[in-house]
Amino acid sequence: MGSPLEIVAVPAFADNYLWLIQDADSGETAVVDPGDPAPVLAEAEKRGWHISTIFNTHWHPDHTGGNLAIKERTGATIIGPAGENGRVPGLDVALNEGDKVLLGAHEAEVWEVPGHTLGHIAYIFRGDKVAFVGDTLFAMGCGRLFEGTPEQMHRSLSRLAELPDDFKLYCAHEYTLANARFAAHAFPGNQAIGERLTAVERARAAGKPTVPTSVAEERATNPFLLARNIEHFADLRREKDNFRSA
């Protein structure tokens, strides 16, 4: 394989990350979950990149709201989950478990990772040790169960956690500080969580992003991966839904 993927975070709304990714050898460029078209188009234009593909992980508007405007401007092909019942705007290619997608020479496997929504997918670039996981797994957290069950989300998270330690996980929101505070509440004696909370507090105070994260970090400090069993997982998810840190 040639050059590694170039990955650029484009902040949007209050806490979203829209990811611009490019294969430098071919110049092919994609955007992952473009909820807002304006900052994505501006960043691509600034870099002289032409967006050829839109990767959607699930249907929520803060992930798909920019699809049609970007497609109109660039002619990009919109790819996304087949299992979202037609709710992804402008979908051209519907993806299922085991499908493969290319960005230049870089190949991604499509994994179905339901829980947050029923049709949620992730894009696993094994050659680059990179995964775009949408709202399934967050740094030190996971997505709310808007459509799926605790069993589905637990299975999805466990599957992502089986990737190699050095895989980088690109989620779609800057939720890490709130997640870290909940993790410290849920596992008060966990030294790794305490140390990571301190690091996250420093990063956010300095205005620095806390994503991507790594599989190794999540295995060690994500409360939902530390759950003893599915019942404990479900209890943690319910508690997190109502948790307000000091």
Helix (H, G, I), strand (E, B) or coil at 26: coil
**pLDDT beyond 80 at 100:** yes
**pLDDT beyond 80 at 174:** yes
**pLDDT beyond 60 at 48:** yes
Looking at residue 7, what is its pLDDT?
98
* CA distance linking residue 26 with residue 79, whole number of Å: 19
Looking at residue 74, what is its pLDDT?
98
- pLDDT grade, residue 43 (50/70/90)? very high
Q: Which residues of 158-170 are buried (b: 16+ CB within 10 A; e: fewer)?
A: ebbbebeeebbbb
Span 124-131, mean pLDDT? 98
Tokens of 100: 């493969």
Query: Hey, which residues are catalytic here?
Result: 58, 60, 62-63, 116, 135, 173
Q: Which residue has the tokens 């004696």?
A: 189
Span 26-51, mean pLDDT? 98
Looking at residue 245, what is its pLDDT?
66
**Continuous segment of H or E residues that includes residue 44:** helix 37-47
* CA distance linking residue 145 with residue 180, whole number of Å: 19
State percent of the chain over pLDDT 70.
99
Looking at residue 132, what is its pLDDT?
98
Span 120-126, mean pLDDT? 98
Span 125-135, mean pLDDT? 98
- 97 closest CA partner among 159, 143, 41: 159
Looking at residue 130, what is its pLDDT?
98
pTM above 0.95, yes or no: yes
Helix (H, G, I), strand (E, B) or coil at 46: helix
